[in-house]
Structure 1
Amino acid sequence: MNRVFAYPIVVGPESIDVMKHTNNKEYLRWMEEAATAHSSLLGWNTERYFKIGQAFVAKAHWIEYLRPTFLGDRLTMYTWVENMQDKTSLRRFYLMRDKKVCMLGATQWAFIDIETGRGQSIPEEVSSSFFCVPSSDKELKELGIKTILFKAAI
């Protein structure tokens, strides 16, 4: 059903910083890649957004680092849409390695007119393609995602 999307990541040498662990900026990149891949899977790739002249852009990000990650680590970034309102959407992220959480994240997305940059109401054809997964959802619990950790994120 693709409500909660699992995005696989292998930490490469380009992601490692002078401290010999993953640079903080990489987590944000992975969040964007996972969100884009999930959107594409649900039928909304970049080309389709440009075709309608509207798209989501990041309004705010929240990241909480809980465990470092290292070269060669095999990670899974879980992501889902928690809610969609008139002009915004909240997407959550949960990065795991060996069933342990490494990072929590969230992005508040604003839906805009690409030409003007102004906020637009999210059209039904877009919103109906995404499933909203509340923090109490059974699927999150089955994945081992402890939603209580998210209270600090926003």
Structure 2
Amino acid sequence: MLRIYRLPITVTEDCIDVLGHTNNKEYLRWMEEAAISHSDALGWNMERYLKLGAAFAATVHKIHYLRPTHVGDELIMNTWVETLEKTISRRAFYLTRGGKVCMNGTTEWTFINLKTGRAEEIPPEVAEAFPIVPKGDPLLRENGIRWLEIP
């Protein structure tokens, strides 16, 4: 089971803001792309969620910017599921360039019924597909992830 997912990213010209570095919205876009790709890799693509009539929706984002990124930078967005509770899952993100952390963050995802828009309990078949990598898991350090807590 894929516990930590890695999404390679190349910073392109359209990612850059007027300050000459990657715009904040790009980090959020990359986080979402990594989460969706990880879910797909674990067998839960959007088609399957739609068939189920429920899916995860982002409700809280926290991002800690540590180093700027620029055009041409080759990045790796690491992501994993940190918690999975009754209706909410917390996913962590860790962006690196050449082994140095540029950003870390989290997103809380609420599992919602697509017809009502209300939170509902994460079904066992969904929960079982997502391996949990809790804070302090040795796998993080083994993969060079030195987590910085976000207040």
| TM-score, with structure 2 as normaliser | 0.98
Task: Give identity over the alignment, percent.
Answer: 55
1:63 counterpart residue number: 63
Residue 109 of structure 1: how far off its partner (Å): 0.3
Q: Number of residue pairs matched? A: 151
Residue 139 of structure 1: how far off its partner (Å): 1.4
Mapped partners of 1:143, 1:125: distance in 2 = 28
1:106 counterpart residue number: 106
Mapped partners of 1:78, 1:8: distance in 2 = 9
1:37 counterpart residue number: 37
Q: Residues 39-87 of structure 1, C-alpha deviation per residue, up to 9 Å, x if partnerless?
A: 0000000110000000000010000100000000000000000010000
Aligned pairs (5 A) from 1:3-152: 3-147=3-147, 149-150=148-149
Mapped partners of 1:70, 1:135: distance in 2 = 30
CA RMSD of aligned residues (A): 0.7
Mapped partners of 1:8, 1:60: distance in 2 = 24
Residue 138 of structure 1: how far off its partner (Å): 1.5
Partner amino acid for 1:146? Answer: R
> Where has structure 1 moved over 4 Å in runs of 4 or more?
none
Residue 142 of structure 1: how far off its partner (Å): 1.2
Residue 95 of structure 1: how far off its partner (Å): 0.2
Structure 1's unaligned 5+ residue stretches are none
Residue 33 of structure 1: SS of its match in structure 2?
Answer: helix
| TM-score, with structure 1 as normaliser | 0.96
Residue 95 of structure 2: SS of its match in structure 1?
Answer: strand
Structure 2's unaligned 5+ residue stretches are none
